[in-house]
Amino acid sequence: MNKWSLETRSRVIVLALCTIGVLAMIWLFLIGRLEIRLENRQEKTRLVQQQLKNTRELIRRAEKYDGVVARSSLLLSGYENQMARGDTYRWLLNWLGSFEARHNITLSSPPPPQETELNVPPKVPYKAIAYTIAGTARYHDFGAFLADFENSSPFIRLNSLALESTSSGVENPANSGRLAFRMEFVTLLKPASAPR
């Protein structure tokens, strides 16, 4: 560099400074902006990938819950098939007939059922029907009947039960040891258009 003249050195220095300035301007205005755009796009890509991951997780959960809903619908359908439906008086007679056949009890003709208020917190599409039945049975037969009756449906709630002894058997020895009973119970009624 000692062999260069002062003018040549100045030109080389100016050229180097201009080159550095041009490179800095290219870096700031072209490459810097492109880097900012690239970072913005990378951030958007990360956000979209996170949203995609969340959406896939929701889809996976939805498929899982579809199975749960399908199983629950089948379970609800099974429960609804145990409910009283249609002509409730005929349903009661048929239902009680099966108990009379299984247990040594005698039932009198029940009065027609009465619709009552359903006192449960959630709003459900079912109605409540109250029944009153009376009959006679031996003590152990009545106990077996009552246990079977209570376990026969999850929708039956016993409201009242009255037991009293029948005659002492002096007039009719066949009635000796029999109980007279009167039961009031409530069950759910499946409406004709229950939702599925």
How far apart are the C-alpha atoms of 146 and 138, rounded to whole Å?
A: 12
pLDDT tens digit sequence for 50-86: 999 999 998 888 888 888 888 888 888 887 777 777 7
* Close Cβ partners of 130 (under 8 Å, ≥ 6 residues apart): 113, 114, 115, 116, 159, 184, 185, 186
Q: Is the pLDDT of residue 179 over 80?
A: yes
Global pTM exceeds 0.85:
no
Tell which residue, 111, 187, 102, has the closest CA to residue 150: 187
Q: How confident is the model at residue 36 (pLDDT cuts 50, 70, 90)?
A: confident
The pLDDT value given to residue 174: 56
How far apart are the C-alpha atoms of 174 and 170, rounded to whole Å?
A: 10
Superfamily of domain 84-190, CATH level 4: Ribosomal protein S6/Translation elongation factor EF1B (3.30.70.60)
Strands 84-85 and 157-165: unpaired
The residue ranges of every structural domain in the chain are 1-82, 84-190
pLDDT tens digit sequence for 129-170: 888 989 988 888 888 988 888 888 778 888 899 988 876 545
Q: How confident is the model at residue 47 (pLDDT cuts 50, 70, 90)?
A: very high
Across 107-134, average pLDDT: 80
